[in-house]
Amino acid sequence: MASASEEIAVGPQEICNQVNKFLKGTSTPASNVNFESLTVSALFLLRTVPVARHAVLEHYSFLFDDAINSSLTFSDHESSSYQKQQLSALQDVTGVLLSFIKSSPEAWAPVVSSWTLTLLGQLSTKYAAKRGIQRGTPLNEVLQMWLACEPARMLIEISTECFAAMVGAAPDMCVDSLLEASVRFSPHFDWVVAHIGSCFPRTIITRVLNCGLKDYCNDSGHDKEAGPSTNRLKVPKMASVVGILGHLASKHGHDIRKALMALFEASLHSDTMSNKVTTLPFLLQLASMSDMLLQILTTDLVSVLTPSTLNQLHRQFTYWKRSSPGEYNSFLNLVVHLIVKSRVGACDIISFILNTAVPAEDGKGGEQPTEEVRDTCVEIMHILMFELQRGVLSSHSDVSIIEIPFLVGLASQTDILTNMLLNAEGRRLPWLQKLLTYTSLQAGQSCAASILSSIVCNAQTPQQLSNFYSLKQGIELGLPSVIQPTVLQVFNRLEALASPSVECLPTPAKVSRLSPKAVSEETPAASASLPSSAHPPQLIPLRNLERIVAAEKRKIKKKQIASSRLVKELQSRQNSLVPFLLFPEPEVLRCVLSLVHMIGFPDSLGSALLTKLAGAVAAVFFNSLHLKASIESSSKDKLQEQHDVKSSSKSSLKEAVCDKGQGSSRQASCITRLCMSCIEQLSCLPFTRSLLLHYLMEGATHKEHCRLFGGKWTTNLFESPTSASSLSSLPSSNLSTNPEGPATSSSSSVVNSETSSLLQENRQQGNSIALPRFHSSVYHGGVIRQISKVSSMQKPLPKMQVAANVLTLLETLWLCCREGAQASSRTSHPQWGAPASAAGAAADVKIELMDTDLRIKPGKKVVSESSARTLGCVIVDILTLDSLYNDVNWQDPDFRKVTTERDILVWKRISDMPFLWSVLQEFSSSSVFLYYVSPVVRSLFAVVMNHLEVSREARMRNCPQHNEAACCLVYCLAQGSWIPSPLSNISELFPHVAPYEGYLLLLALWRYIKVKRMTILFLRILYNL
Amino acid sequence: MGDNILNRLFRMSFPDCTREALAFLTSYISQDCPAIPGLNANTEQVIVEICQEFVLFQSVRGPPKKLSSVQELNLLDMICTCFKEAPEKSKYRIFNLMFGAHCNGSGNLLTKLVSLALSTHCSPVLFCVAIWMQERDSLSADVKGLTHRLVSDYCLLYPDPSNVFSKLPSVSPLFACNFITSATSFYSFGGADSLPPLTLLQHVSEWVDKDNTVCCESLRQATVHHAYTTPVPGLTGWCVRGPLVCSQLLAKAKASGSATAFGKSNADSIQSQVLSLLACLDKLHLALLQSLMFSACVNLSPGLLSASDLAHITHTLTAVYPPQRDGNDGSREESSAIGVALERLAQILQVAAGTRTYIPDRGKIKEMESIARHKLPHNRLLSMVLRQQLQSSSSYSTPS
């Protein structure tokens, strides 16, 4: 076979002959010119007769076609000899063409390139179906398929060579031709472009972009009216530009990115007006046609657009904007359209636009966007809002939800957006609210819930919280049940806040164990020295929840809404709120209490939860009293100190301390009041009522709390099996994870410290050798009565406060015991919301009133029978040693000789806990109470009688303790109408009679009661009926 | 018969119909255009229609038929054969019928025809084309287009010198002559963008060198065809401007070559190309002078060159040679190149004047003189020649 370099003697006659042979071979179908000689003459013509080259190439295109066809058909079988011949002929011509391209690229490359491109286009279109290539086949596979075909590979090799030859000299031209071919043979030609593009990525990318831009410029130059963004004519070319870039994106995304950015940079510094004005629209147009390019632009362009760049762009575009407002509008619409389409970096875009539209006040010396730029951004934002609204609403009306990529992108970054919303002000606020609303409408319930919950968890001020309402209003239009997951998420966050910090934060268990001391030690420090930012993280969500619920309640009260979904949802979450009731921070406590109170206790709550609640509320009740006591004492101490040190100079500081102390004490009494409200509500149910009574009474007489009510703790008096069991059943230990009761742990700690010090002392003792070794000098017994000293070191509370505390306790007990409680609270449930919401907002105002006055007049109320019974039993439990003689029937007065020891114990206990007298007095109006508490009354009677019987005093008043007790007992019996009118007045005689006479009087009473017991039994039966 | 032949041709398929049409046209024109029996009026129009439909395939009725490349080659081959076989006297008439009227559409076909004719040494076609070129004026756009295509076919496609071109003057001297004229105007050698391809320059210098009559061929035909153009002014322009342009190119190549490694290899290739260009120009200059001498020997009427041509060349020289900065006479290469250019101009003027082969014009000579004095560096030879010309022309002109 002839090769390119071989010299042939060429005469004109020879040429004529070859031409004739070639023509004969190609034009007549069944020619007698054989294949080989035809190929020879074709090659000859190609190399010698320039004018014949098109004809020869045409001939070879048939050959290539044929070869591809046969290679496809026989690809599985052995190739025939004809096929081999064909292939070798094609190889020859490929070699010749390649050598031509190499030797004189300028002349041959354009011709051959256009031939190969056209041929490739035609062939790949023709045989696409035969190769089994569908539209969806990925480009990579198509490429592999075609490269497996020998003739096609030759062609692409030639065309790549052409490209390489031309790219240096006339890159625009060859990219142009490539683009044209790509448009002409649209989907089938893609693999060629991809192959060539991957051979010359950088050139192709830049050239393709430049080509597109030039085309774009020219078109927009031609018809000014159509505008750069709306011209339809250039769409195919743009499409092929986008297509090619799309192919190259997977491997050369970086190059594309650089090329795009370089184009943009160049436009900034370009001299020609057209380039300046058209580059950006061109880039945007490109982006609108391909998501990949859009992604590149959104990530990179946004970061490039600094205020100074924007200002420059503004200067560049001013003329154009003025001259063609229509174009400008469509440009803005295009921008908005792109924003709507961009998914990645949506948040960046939004913050960019916002920052440009409403720049931050404290510009750090950098250039600020001009007024016009800002206005433009505002305009864009308005259009964007409109578009989003339309999109979201239309997708709601349709069955199928149209996905808006922008909102999907935002949905993944709601946290940032929410933060922006919380920090927003001015014009940003409504935009962000709308954006978030649309985002959550688009992204569905869980996203909406997370947005709302993060607002609840992060809003610091009521203004910030107001976003919650507006968002909720918007979202509930589309997602009516969004509140449920929101509440769920809020609580998840709350628990998440608590759980990782188990070690560092005081947990409810710890708190309850340390309770009074911890509160008294920590709170003043926290409230006095640290600002509000030192609040635990749980505070914010809880306070926000409280605010929201208060608002909902107000609405219910004003009859604006029938019922609140939120409140209902929270009711089912009481369970999660309980742990927060035992939080050390008073502010948190207040919030939670108020929440619990406002939410109310629906019937659906389980008994376990109710138990927990009752326990927690009772614990909080006592804690609040402790808190108040500690605050007052500490503030008083401080005042005292200041008064001592600098008497008059720093009055302002004194006031401040006063204020602070007052604030905290207000808070404490607010908590107390809230507790009382809760107790009131909880006591609607008989089950919780009796629980509460138990808790309150046991708590009040508990070692740690009795101090509050003027009681004192004598260990051997109360360390009986009964009291131990009552301690372990205390609410606080109920909830604690630690099974140890508070009393045991504290006492053990005391013992521990004692032993360690004793050991130390003994060691020191052992070391000293000065003394002779007696038994006593070897072992040191420690300091005697050190334990009781420690406990007595606590300062007693001032009387005023004790009285107030006792009143509060009595009032609380009354709340539990009221007869009407059951009925009235059932019917008028919302009524309880009113004081509660007031407690949230204006609790401080009413505190004075509460402390001094008894709102509830006990005499007018009737104690309910069941609670009277419970209360009575509880008191009996507390005061008596065992139930052996706790018979409600009064035996013969002489029988008291048998129970003397018991009676004295009761007497001692009640004198340690004087407030129990008040309780007795308070509730003695209820004969049922009196009935159940009668063992105690009897014991007291006995003690008084025993004393009076043997007293040598002249007058009974000379033994005041017993006199008082006797008066009190008579009063109680009279209240409970156990004794009729003349007998009920005998107490007036007591101061004047001798002790023995008093004894006789009491004896008479005893006997009367003993006789009358049948009446009481009758009474009981009556009540039961 | 006119209708008959049209109908018959329309019924035939491609190669046959054209062959038949060509045969018919040849016989018709050879018979001095007899009236076609059965066709009362406008035989001329029928002939033209046949030519349009079946030779040029530019249908007036219906859509134009598009021939494939192979078919086109076949068509060209048939036309060449037709010209070879046609009687001598009617060849140009046939040619004129096909391509004479207007060559809007047929220009492309004509180019291909000429290209094939060159390859196959089909002198009848080349002769007709040469006449056509001369009638059209070798400087017209059509002719320049044709020249451009031919040059790219034969000088650019194949790097080694073409067998076809080297024998061209022997095959068709008139065509060669007109081709040179057209080529010199197309590639004016006025700067880097209008350089003649090296191969072309080699061919042309070879032709002029080997056969001094080539330049005179068109002048010789001037007796037959009133219009003529000669290649001498164009060639003079090449010889004069060439050295200057080449020296500038060399300087530029050196500058870029020192910048980058890639530029260096590129610069080397440019340099070697430019040097061979210069060598060709030297050869061409001598051949040109010899041609002028020769034309004086054969007693042709003067007209190979005119004073206005020379003045025009001087003008272009000032455009190529930029006004010098004060005190700086440019590089040494450039100043020597302008020296060569001016000397060549002077030599040609002197030889042309001495052999009386040029058309003198005192005004133009004066113009040249003033340009040479003001805008170009001084050249002793040129100023002497010019002064002499002025004196002689004044001595001529005063008596007449």
Question: Quick check: A19 and B71 CB within 8 A?
Answer: no
> What are the tens digits of pLDDT across the range A138-155?
667 777 778 888 888 888
More confident residue, A520 or A28: A28
Taking Cα atoms as reference points, which of A624, A961, A632, A584 lies closest to residue A795?
A632
Whether the CB-CB separation of A290 and A336 falls below 8 Å is answered with: no
For B85, residues 6+ apart whose C-beta sits below 8 A from its C-beta are B26
Residue A482 has pLDDT above 60, yes or no: yes
Residues present in chain A in total: 1025
Whether residue B177 is found in the same domain as residue B94: no
> What's the rounded Cα separation, in Å, for the pair A892 and A906?
19
**Residue numbers of B between 43 and 72 with CB closer than 8 Å to A:** 68-72
Assess contact for A276 and A263: CB atoms under 8 A: no
Contact B157 A104 (CB under 8 A): yes
Alpha-helical runs (H) found in A223-361: 235-269, 273-289, 291-304, 307-323, 325-341, 346-357
A106 touches chain B (CB under 8 A): yes
Question: Cβ B152–A107 below 8 Å, yes or no?
Answer: yes
Write the residue in B70, B119, B152 that is nearest to A49 by C-beta.
B119
Subunit contact B120:A27, Cβ cutoff 8 A: no
Lowest mean pLDDT among A378-382, A597-601, B83-87: A597-601
**A784 C-beta neighbours (distance < 10 Å), count:** 8
Per-residue pLDDT of chain B (400 residues; tens, 9 = 90+): 556 777 777 777 777 888 888 888 888 877 766 665 555 556 777 777 777 777 777 766 666 677 788 888 888 888 888 888 888 888 888 888 887 766 555 667 888 888 888 888 888 888 888 888 888 777 778 888 888 888 888 877 776 666 777 788 888 888 888 888 888 888 888 777 788 888 888 888 888 888 888 888 877 776 666 677 888 888 888 888 888 888 888 888 777 766 665 566 777 788 888 888 888 888 999 998 888 888 877 766 667 788 888 888 888 888 877 766 544 556 777 788 888 888 898 998 888 888 887 888 888 888 888 888 888 888 888 888 888 888 876 655 444 3
Q: Does any CB of chain A come closer than 8 Å to the CB of residue B77?
A: yes
* Predicted local confidence at residue A437, as pLDDT: 81
Across the interface, whether the CB atoms of A27 and B112 are under 8 A apart is answered: no
Q: Is residue B4 located within the same domain as residue B28? A: yes
Q: Minimal CA–CA distance to A388: which of A501, A474, A513, A289?
A: A474
Containing structural domain, residue B126: 102-324+331-397
Contact list in A for residue B119 (CB cut-off 8 A) is: 12, 15, 48-52
Contacts with B85 from chain A: Cβ below 8 Å: none
Ramachandran quadrant class, A134 (left: phi over 0; alpha: psi -120 to 50; beta: rest):
beta
Listed residue (A136, A9, A126, A117) closest to A57, CA to CA: A117
Inter-chain contacts counted by CB atoms under 8 A, chains A and B: 70
Residue type, position B202, single letter: Q
Same structural domain, B292 and B157 = yes
What residues in B contact A59, CB-CB < 8 Å?
Answer: 70
Structure token pair of residue A846: 């009413």
Mutate to test the interface with B, among A14, A51, A59 (most CBs of B within 10 A): A51
- Residues in chain B with CB shorter than 8 Å from the CB of A26 are 70
Of A20, A27, A108, the CB nearest to B70: A27
The first and second tokens of residue B68, run together, are 């494939």
Q: CB A58 to CB B116 under 8 A?
A: no
Among candidate residues A921, A821, A819, the one with its CA nearest the CA of residue A862: A819
A51/B156 CB distance under 8 A: no
Chain A touched by B30 (CB under 8 Å): no
| A 5-34 → B contacts, CB under 8 A | 10, 12, 15-16, 19-20, 22-23, 26-27
Q: CB A1021: neighbour CB atoms within 10 A? A: 9
Of A50, A58, A59, the CB nearest to B153: A50
Structure tokens at A425: 């002000």
Report the gap between the CA of B162 and the closest CA in chain A (Å).
9
Q: What is the pLDDT of residues A900-926, one digit of tens each?
A: 888 888 888 888 888 888 888 888 887
Going by the DSSP 8-state scheme, the letter that residue A369 receives in this structure is: P
Does B220 share its domain with B339?
A: yes
Residue of chain B whose Cα is closest to the Cα of A19:
B77
Instruction: Tell me the nearest-neighbour CA distance from A328 into chain B, angstroms.
Output: 42
Q: Kindly tell me if the per-residue pLDDT of A345 is higher than 50.
A: yes
Quote the CA–CA distance of A52 and B80 in Å, as a whole number.
14
Compare all CA atoms of chain A with the CA of B69 and give the residue at the minimum distance. Answer: A55
Could you identify the residue written with the tokens 């890639």?
B262
Taking residues A30-37, what's their average pLDDT? 68
> Cβ separation of B121 and A12 shorter than 8 Å?
yes
Q: Are residues B27 and B117 in the same domain?
A: no
Q: How many of the other CB atoms lie within 10 Å of CB of A230?
A: 15
Q: Which residues pair with B306 in a beta bridge?
A: B359
Nearest CA in chain B to A16: B120
- Closest CA–CA distance from residue A170 to any residue of chain B (Å): 15
Altogether, the residues listed in chain B come to a count of: 400
Cβ of A26 within 8 Å of Cβ of B163? The answer is no
Q: Both B110 and B32 in a single domain?
A: no
> Is the Cβ pair A52, B121 closer than 8 Å?
no
The model's confidence at residue A404, banded by pLDDT at 50, 70 and 90, is confident
Q: How far is A389 from chain B (nearest CA, A)?
A: 56
Q: What is the mean pLDDT of residues A617-633?
A: 79
Confidence (pTM): 0.55
Q: Which of B101, B125, B159 is the last residue of a domain?
A: B101
Q: How far apart are CA A518 and CA A192, in angstroms?
A: 79
Closest CA to A468 of A366, A381, A557, A552: A552
Please name the residues between 135 and 154 in chain B that touch chain A, using a CB distance below 8 Å. Answer: 152-154
Q: What angle do CA A806, A812, A818 make, to 5 degrees?
A: 130
Window A:57-96, CB contacts with B under 8 Å: 57-59
CB B379 within 8 A of CB B342: yes
Residue (of B338, B348, B355, B150) closest to B232 by Cα position: B348
Residue A55 has its nearest CB partner, among B72, B120, B159, at B72
Q: Quote the crossing angle between the two packed helices A508-529 and A574-581, to the nearest 10°.
A: 60
Calculate how close chain B gets to A167, using CA atoms only, in Å: 15
Give a three-class secondary structure readout of chain B: CHHHHHHHHHHCCHHHHHHHHHHHHHHHHHCCCCCCCCCCCCHHHHHHHHHHHHHCCCCCCCCCCCCCHHHHHHHHHHHHHHHHHCCHHHHHHHHHHHHHCCCCCHHHHHHHHHHHHHHCCCHHHHHHHHHHHHHHCCCCHHHHHHHHHHHHHHHHCCCCCCHHHHCHHHHCHHHHHHHHHHHHHHCCCCCHHHCCCHHHHHHHHHHHHHCCCHHHHHHHHCCCCCCCCCCHHHHHHHHHHHHHHHHHHHHHHHHHHHHCHHHHHHHHHHHHHHHHHHHHHHHHHHHHHHHHHHHHHCCCCCCCEEHHHHHHHHHHHHHHCCCCCCCCCCCHHHHHHHHHHHHHHHHHHHHHHHHCCEECCHHHHHHHHHHHHHCCCCCHHHHHHHHHHHHHHHHHHCCC
Average pLDDT for A57-67: 84
Q: Residues B60, B134: one domain?
A: no
What's CA A597's distance to the chain center, in Å?
24
Cα separation of A979 and A987, whole Å?
12
Q: CB–CB of A19 and B69 under 8 A? A: no
pLDDT at B395: 58
B window 163-182, beta carbon within 8 A of A: 163
Same domain, B33 and B49: yes
The Cα A817–Cα B74 span in angstroms is 123
Which pairing describes strands B305-306 and B358-359: parallel, antiparallel, or unpaired? parallel
SS3 A582: coil
- Which range (A338-342, A711-715, B389-393) has the least confidence? A711-715
Residues B20 and B156 in one domain: no
Alpha-carbon distance of A194 to A550, in angstroms, equals: 65
Q: How far apart are CA A993 and CA A956, in angstroms?
A: 6
Question: Are B247 and B263 in a shared domain?
Answer: yes
Q: Answer yes or no: do A51 and B71 touch at CB < 8 A.
A: no
Residue-level pLDDT at A765: 56
Contacts of A58 in chain B (CB under 8 A): 68-70
What are the angstrom distances between the C-alpha of B184 and each of B177, B283, B351?
11, 16, 21
Which domain-ending residue is among B101, B119, B134? B101
What is the residue-averaged pLDDT of chain A? 71
- Give the span between the Cα atoms of A517 and A622, in whole angstroms: 12
Asked if A20's CB is within 8 angstroms of B70's CB, the reply is no
Q: SS3 for A863?
A: strand
Do both B206 and B94 map to the same domain? no
| Inter-chain touch A27–B74, beta carbons under 8 Å | yes
Can you tell me the distance from the alpha carbon of A45 to that of A336, in angstroms, rounded to the nearest whole number? Answer: 60
* pLDDT for the residue A741: 38
Q: Smallest CA–CA separation between A74 and chain B, in Å?
A: 29
Give the 3-state secondary structure of A627-639: HHHHHHHHHHHHH
Distance from CA of B70 to the nearest CA of A (A): 4
| pLDDT tens-digit series, residues A85-125 | 778 888 888 888 888 888 877 778 878 888 888 888 888 88
End of a domain among B54, B86, B101? B101
What average pLDDT does range A163-182 have in this prediction? 75
Residues B80 and B108 in one domain: no
Write the burial class of residue B259 (CB in 10 Å: 0-12 exposed, 13-18 middle, 19+ buried): exposed
B76 touches chain A (CB under 8 A): yes
All residues of chain B having their beta carbon less than 8 Å from the beta carbon of residue A50 are 115, 119, 153-154, 157-158
Taking the Cβ of residue A561 and every Cβ of chain B, the question of whether any pair is shorter than 8 Å is answered with: no
Bridge partners of A401?
A: none
Query: Between chains, do B159 and A103 touch, taking CB under 8 Å as contact?
Result: yes
Q: Count the domains in chain B.
A: 2
CB-based contact A57 B73, cutoff 8 Å: no
A26 to chain B nearest CA, in Å?
7
